[in-house]
Amino acid sequence: MILYTATYNSSVGTIVIESNGETLTGLRFGEGKTQATSSLPIFDEVTRWLDDYFAGKQTKNAVMLKKDTLNQKNAARIIVQPRGTLFQQRVWQALLTIPYGKTVSYGELARMIGCKSAQAVGQAVGANPIALLIPCHRVIAAHGQLGGYAYGQEIKKRLLNIEQP
C-alpha cells in the first residue's frame, strides 16, 4: 500500500496527515516529511476541516469506512480508514458519536460499547491513529480529570479549550 503524507501547521503544532490516496489513514501531531504528491482531494478536505476546527468553528466528526455509515447526517465528508483490531474499531466508532464540545469518561465510553473494562477502552483510545477527526481528546478520566493523551496533556487541554464557546 502506498502511503501519502502532508503536513499542516496548527496553533498547537505540526500535524502529519496520511492517506492511501483515497481515504484518511492517519492524523497525528509531530514532525514529518511531506512527500511530493499531487493535491489529493482527501488532503484538501482534511485541510478545510482543520482550518475550521482551529478557527473555533463547530466541526462534524469524520465517517468510518463502512457502507452503513456513509450517509450519517452528523458527519463530515472525510472518510477515515484506521487500521486496528475489531475491538479498537468498536471503540473508535464510539468516539465518533461524541459531539464537538462534549466529553465522556473512559468508564462512560466503556458502557457505551458494552465493555466492562475502562482500562481496555483507554488503551484502544490511546491507539487511535487519526487524532482530532476521531476525537480521542474528548475522553477524560473519572471525576472530570483530564487524563492522558498520546500527544501530551497540554495539547489535549488546548484542543478541549478550542471546543468551548
Mean pLDDT of 143-154: 91
C-alpha distance across the termini of the chain, in Å? 41
Percent of the chain with pLDDT over 70: 87
pLDDT digits (tens, 9 = 90+) for 1-40: 678 999 999 999 999 999 998 899 999 998 655 555 557 8
Q: Check residues 61 and 117 and name the one with the higher pLDDT.
A: 117
Domains of the chain: 84-162 (1.10.10.10)
Is residue 31 packed enough to be buried (19+ CB in 10 Å), middle (13-18) or exposed (0-12)?
exposed
pLDDT digits (tens, 9 = 90+) for 45-54: 999 999 999 9
Alpha-carbon torsion, ordered 51, 53, 57, 63, to 10 deg: 110
Residue 67 is predicted with a pLDDT of 43
Residue 96: pLDDT above 90? Answer: yes
Residue 69 is predicted with a pLDDT of 46
Is residue 15 packed enough to be buried (19+ CB in 10 Å), middle (13-18) or exposed (0-12)?
buried
Q: Enumerate the active-site residues.
A: 136
Percent of the chain with pLDDT over 90: 67
pLDDT digits (tens, 9 = 90+) for 131-141: 999 999 999 99
Strand partners, 26: 18
Residue 70: pLDDT above 80? Answer: no
Residue 76 is predicted with a pLDDT of 60
pLDDT category at 68 given cuts 50, 70, 90 is very low
Angle 81-85-88 (CA atoms, 0-180°, nearest 5)?
Answer: 80
